[in-house]
Amino acid sequence: MTNNNDRRSKAERPTPAAPLRNASTGASEPASDGEPPSKSERKRQMHALQALGEQLVALSGEQLARLDLPDDLREAVEFAHRVTGREARRRHLQYLGKLMRSADGDSIRTSLERVTGESRSAVSLMHKAEMWRNRLLDDDQALTAFVTDHPDAEVQWLRNAIRAARRERELQQAPKHARELYRRLHQHLEQPLRTRAESTDEG
């Protein structure tokens, strides 16, 4: 026969608190002071996950393909590009936030930062190559400055390409040589970045 004191003892045992989730990634965290997350905390978590979903939706198809995402999350992100109505889009982003509650938020955020960081570097490199091409075509002293900064540059090839690009510009011809000049400048400026990346990987 169970003692009344035993019944009271069991009933008074505290219920374990539900784990908190990281507000920025959605990852589970231990509850502080044994307290369950408040309503406002759960709301912040939901908004953080929804914001992460919006960042995924903003990626290009190529960037998205480089992320390791669960199939259902990837399909939802891709479908978001076809949702046009404002209210429908809002509901779909909320749905994305719910899907990410079961995904690895930390891993997704890390991959996202890597992909977008590489994209920013690529855009910066494009702008730098375009800037040098314009300088080389507009300023006779620019070639000396470029070779000073890049002593391994193919000076004779650059000189011939600049001359040909200027001539086609004067004659209002298709910028065949200007495009080739840009391509070679891009390759030349990219090489040190590749070398550093390979050295980092080997280290």
What is the four-CA torsion angle of 154, 159, 160, 166, rounded to 10 degrees?
140
Q: Which two tokens stand for residue 156?
A: 């004779």
Write the pLDDT tens digit of every residue in 104-154.
Answer: 878 888 888 888 887 788 888 889 999 999 999 999 999 999 999 998 899
Rounded Cα distance between 93 and 6, Å, is 50
Write the pLDDT tens digit of every residue in 88-106.
Answer: 888 888 888 888 888 887 8
Q: Which domains are present in the chain?
A: 20-103 (1.10.60.30), 122-202 (1.10.60.30)
Rounded Cα distance between 162 and 140, Å, is 10
Q: Which two tokens stand for residue 136?
A: 């080389």
